[in-house]
Structure 1
Amino acid sequence: MSENKVLESIVEQINLRLTEICSLRQDFTKKEDDSFVSKGDLLVQDIVVELINNNLPDHNVISEEDAPFEGVDFDETSSYVIIDPIDGTENFVSGLKEWGVGVSIYTKGKHVGSLILLPELNDFLMTGMKTDKYKSRIIGLSSSLTKSDLIVLPDEGFEYRIIGCSMYNMLSAVRGAYARFENVKGVNCWDVLPGLNLALEHGTYAEVDGSPYSGQILFPTRKYKIKLSSEG
Structure 2
Amino acid sequence: MTDSNADTTARVDVAEQAARAGATVAGDHFRRGIDVERKGGKTNVVTEADRESQRRVIAEIRETFPDDAVVGEEEDELKAVPDEGAAWVIDPIDGTNNYVRDIRAFATAVAAVVDGEPVASAIALPAMDDVYVADAETVYRNGTEVSVSDRTDPETGAATPTVWWDFDARDEYATACAEIVERFGDMRRFGSAQVTLAMIAEGALDATITNVACNPWDTVAGVHMVRNAGGTVTDLDGDRWRHDSTGLVVSNGSLHDEALAAARAIRAVADGDA
**Would you say same fold, with TM above 0.5?**
yes
Q: 2:215 aligns with which of 176, 188, 212?
A: 188
Give the 3-state SS of the residue equivalent to 1:45 in structure 2: helix
Q: Which of 83, 92, 107 is matched with 1:85 structurally?
A: 92
Does 2:37 match 1:29? yes
Correspondence list, 1:205-220, <5 A: 205-213=232-240, 218=243
Match of 1:161 in 2: 188
Tell me which of 34, 41, 54 is aligned to 1:45. 54
Which residue in the other structure is 1:137 paired with?
157
Aligned residues: 225
Which stretches of structure 1, 4 residues or more, deviate above 6 A after TM superposition? none
Q: 2:267 maps to what in 1?
A: none
| Residue identity opposite 2:67 in structure 1 | D
Residue 13 of structure 1 corresponds to 21
Query: In 2, Cα distance between the equivalents of 1:151 and 1:82?
Result: 29
Q: Describe the superposition over 1:60-88 as per-residue Cα deviations: whole angstroms up to 9, x where unpaired.
A: 11101136958x8x641221101111111
In the superposition, relative to structure 1, how do residues 209 and 189 fare at CA in structure 2: closer, same or farther (>3 Å)?
farther
* CA distance, structure 1, for counterparts of residue 24 and residue 124 of structure 2: 13
Counterpart in the other structure of 1:94: 101
Give the deviation of 1:119 after TM superposition.
Answer: 1.3
| Counterpart contact for 2:148–2:226, Cα < 8 Å | no
Give the RMSD, CA atoms, in angstroms. Answer: 2.7
**Structure 1 position 44, deviation (Å):** 0.9
Q: Deviations over 1:115-142 (max 9, x none)?
A: 1221111112112332154345111122
Normalised TM-score (structure 1): 0.84
Matched letter for residue 81 of structure 1: W
Q: Structure 2-normalised TM-score?
A: 0.72
User: Structure 1 pair 66/210, CA: closer, same or farther in 2 (3 Å)?
Assistant: farther
1:3 aligns with 2:7: no
Q: Does 1:200 align with 2:200?
A: no
Q: Is the 8 A contact 2:121 2:224 kept in 1?
A: yes
Match of 1:58 among 51, 62, 67: 67
State the distance in 2 between where 1:206 and 1:58 align. 30
Larger Rg: 2
Please tell me the residue identity of whatever aligns with 1:8.
E
Partner residue of 1:149?
175
Match of 1:174 in 2: 201
Could you say which structure has the higher helix fraction? Answer: 2
In 1, Cα distance between equivalents of 2:33 and 2:54: 14
Q: Which amino acid aligns with 1:190?
A: W
Match of 2:250 among 221, 228, 232: 228
